[in-house]
Amino acid sequence: PRRAAAGAPRAEKVVEGSGRAVERVGGREWHVAATGFWQAHRGAAQAYSDTVGEWAAVSPGATAWDLYGGVGVFAAVLADQVGTGGRVEAVELSRRAAQDGAEALSDLGQVRFHAGRVEQLLPELPAPQVVVLDPPRAGAGRDVVAAVAAAGPERVVHVGCDPAAFGRDVGLYRDHGFELADLRVYAAFPSTHHVECLALFTR
């Protein structure tokens, strides 16, 4: 019940301005809800996006998944790699975030946004060459990691902000035959125990 309440729509009142924020990454602009999610550190979105682009290395014409994709910051990077002949399937629980992402990336016909729970939508998606996922603090968990592994990607780029949940997910990937090929850690949350961990898994 507590989780359901946390995810329920909340009353909002715009006191001043439009209620929208403008964010920029990689020369692209997003207009997002002021109450929506964006990275806490001002340089984080660009730094993570650069790493995702470096590690994903999706082939032109291939399919990539962007899970827990928010407004599509990583989807934009993947779209550049797959080109017009490829496909990027972005899955995001927040319908508003998915709508904001679809508007921001409306010029990229290879990107499709799906609003809903990752674990429910994965069976409907075409098999990926690469999967990028940036789950909430609780991590991806057993069911999602198993579904990602079953889809048979060559590479997985996993983003995690809670060290304990991230460590658990690393073990789950290894259980499914993935190896931790690279790891980067960003001190994006000063004065807290949280760090942002980006991992590349291959098999």
**Of the candidates 103, 122, 99, the residue with the CA atom closest to the CA atom of residue 36:** 99
Helix (H) or strand (E) holding 160: strand 155-160
> Which run of H or of E encompasses 185?
strand 179-186
Strands across the sheet containing 111-115: 111-115, 87-92, 63-67, 130-133, 155-160, 196-202, 179-186
Residue of 111, 145, 161, 170 with catalytic role: 161
Tokens found for residue 133? 């996922």
Proportion of the chain in helix, strand, coil states, percent, rounded to 5: 35, 25, 40
Annotated active-site residue 161? The verdict is yes
Angle at CA 46, nearest 5°, toward 31 and 181?
135
**Three-state helix/strand/coil letters over 114-127:** EECCHHHHHHHCCC
Please give the positions annotated as active site.
161
